[in-house]
């Protein structure tokens, strides 16, 4: 990672950036599982750092070969680029005692922002809370607050409803529990139809959720991603987008369609009051760079 950021620093706590005047832009990365993935991540961060995101976040891959690497990647990004960084933390494998130790470790490494999550269930099975651990994200949030950790805390939410929750009103009520337990902001699952976001925000406000809700956007960059979006996450691909993708004859055309769609999406989200955009980068820079440059140019 190169340290090219002599530019204005973002606030260290994401909640402070969200109180500012401009939109908040963030990039999500995942920690590498192999030397090849590590090189790709390093290159991507180097390529994206000049876009000066408000913050970057690093996912928790608990249960995989990258388990435990989140803290290291977050601390390294902070130290080497000066960017504000957030660690994701899931309930998947850790007991309360382990969680307490991990939170202390994050704090001691200078991490100020944590996205508190339950984590996905294992393939094909229900989520089983670890022994003496947590079954839902709101329990983790409450634990973090009760233990006196002073992190700026985020949580996840789902404009189309979480895949395990058949009732969207109940899903909103569950998101509200998370906020009541102490999250400062929410980041949404990706979506490709803005109506889901605007409708979700309206319902959340009606339910008394007042924290900022940052929309998560991921440009479609190849057709193989689509079954994962739809089957595993319950994310809809609008017919108009699907038809445009099906007409593509090359991977480059698919990429262009995905970038143009996401650019239009982001412009409308910001024009209609979204507090920023969280980009799911998949550890690659080109699509995020093109979309962010386009929306900044037109702002
Ligand atoms: P929860 O808020 O606990 O919700 C899980 C389900 O339980 C929902 O259906 C909810 O409606 C329901 N529920 C919640 N509380 C209750 C309750 N008290 N009683 C009954 N039902 C309840 N996964 C990773 O493994 N690592 C990551 O780094 C990661 N980062 C993510 C970042 C973002 C922005 C998003 C949107 C998702 C991320 N995920 C990550 C995926 C996430 O872990 C999954 O979507 C997971 O299935 C749900 O996590 P959650 O924190 O929203 O869970």
pLDDT for residue 265 is more than 80: yes
| Least confident interval from 8-17, 149-158, 216-225, 288-297 | 8-17
The pLDDT confidence band at residue 229, using thresholds 50, 70 and 90, is: confident
Q: For residues 154-169, give the mean pLDDT.
A: 95
pLDDT for residue 69 is more than 70: yes
Q: 256-268: buried (b, 16+ CB within 10 Å) or exposed (e) per residue? A: bbbbbbbbebbbe
pLDDT given at position 7: 46
Q: For residues 46-53, give the mean pLDDT.
A: 95
The single residue of 28, 112, 160, 193 carrying the catalytic annotation is 28
Q: How many residues does the chain have?
A: 299
Atom of ligand 1 at shortest range from CA of 154: 34
pLDDT given at position 3: 40
Query: Could you count the other beta carbons within 10 Å of the beta carbon of residue 91?
Result: 23
- Out of 32, 56, 118, 229, mutate this one to test ligand 1's pocket (max ligand atoms within 8 Å of CB): namely 118
Helices marked H in the chain: 14-18, 35-48, 70-81, 96-108, 137-146, 168-181, 194-206, 225-227, 233, 239-246, 251-271, 286-298
pLDDT given at position 5: 38
pLDDT given at position 8: 56
Q: For residues 158-165, give the mean pLDDT.
A: 96
Give catalytic status of residue 293 as yes or no: no
| Least confident interval from 121-125, 170-174, 268-272 | 121-125
pLDDT for residue 4 is more than 50: no
Sign of CA dihedral 59, 63, 64, 66: positive
Q: For residues 134-160, give the mean pLDDT.
A: 98
Query: What's the angle, vertex CA 71, arms to CA 16 and CA 69, rounded to 5?
Result: 145
How does DSSP assign 229-270, residue by residue? IIIIH-----HHHHHHHHT--SHHHHHHHHHHHHHHHHHHHH
pLDDT given at position 67: 87
Q: For residues 247-262, give the mean pLDDT.
A: 97
pLDDT given at position 130: 96
pLDDT given at position 10: 81
pLDDT given at position 124: 83
pLDDT for residue 1 is more than 70: no
pLDDT in tens, 179-197: 999 999 999 999 999 999 9
Hey, what are 153's tokens? 């805390």
pLDDT given at position 63: 82
Q: Is 160 in the pocket of ligand 1 (CB under 6 A)?
A: no
pLDDT for residue 64 is more than 90: no
pLDDT given at position 272: 98
pLDDT for residue 6 is more than 80: no
- Out of 125, 174, 277, mutate this one to test ligand 1's pocket (max ligand atoms within 8 Å of CB): namely 174
Burial of 31 (0-12, 13-18, 19+ CB in 10 A): buried
pLDDT in tens, 82-103: 999 999 999 999 999 999 999 9
Query: Could you count the other beta carbons within 10 Å of the beta carbon of residue 206?
Result: 9
């Amino acid at each position: 990672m190169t340290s090219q950021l002599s530019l204005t620093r973002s606030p260290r706590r994401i909640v402070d950036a969200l109180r500012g005047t401009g939109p908040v832009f963030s990039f999500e990365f995942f920690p590498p599982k192999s030397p090849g993935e590590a090189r790709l991540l390093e290159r991507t961060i180097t390529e994206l750092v000049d876009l000066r995101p408000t913050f970057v976040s690093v996912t928790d891959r608990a249960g995989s070969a990258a388990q435990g690497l989140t803290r290291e990647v977050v601390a390294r990004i902070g130290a080497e680029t000066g960017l504000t960084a957030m660690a994701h933390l899931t309930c998947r494998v850790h007991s309360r005692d382990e969680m307490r130790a991990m939170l202390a470790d994050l704090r001691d490494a200078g991490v100020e922002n944590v996205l508190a999550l339950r984590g996905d269930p294992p393939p094909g099975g229900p989520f089983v809370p670890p022994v003496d651990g947590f079954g839902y994200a709101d329990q983790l949030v409450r634990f973090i607050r009760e233990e006196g950790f002073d992190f700026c805390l985020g949580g996840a939410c789902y404009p189309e409803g979480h895949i395990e929750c058949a009732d969207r009103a109940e899903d909103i009520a569950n998101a509200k529990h998370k906020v009541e337990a102490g999250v400062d902001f929410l980041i949404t699952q990706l979506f490709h139809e803005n109506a889901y976001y605007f409708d979700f925000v309206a319902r959340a406000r009606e339910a008394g959720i007042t924290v900022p809700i940052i929309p998560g956007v991921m440009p479609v960059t190849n057709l193989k991603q689509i079954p994962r979006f739809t089957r595993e996450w319950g994310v809809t691909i609008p017919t108009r987008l699907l038809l445009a993708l099906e007409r593509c004859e090359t991977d480059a055309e698919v990429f262009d369609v995905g970038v143009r769609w996401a650019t239009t999406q982001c412009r409308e989200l910001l024009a209609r009051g979204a507090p920023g955009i969280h980009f799911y980068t998949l550890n690659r820079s080109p699509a995020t760079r093109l979309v962010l440059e386009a929306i900044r140019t037109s702002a």
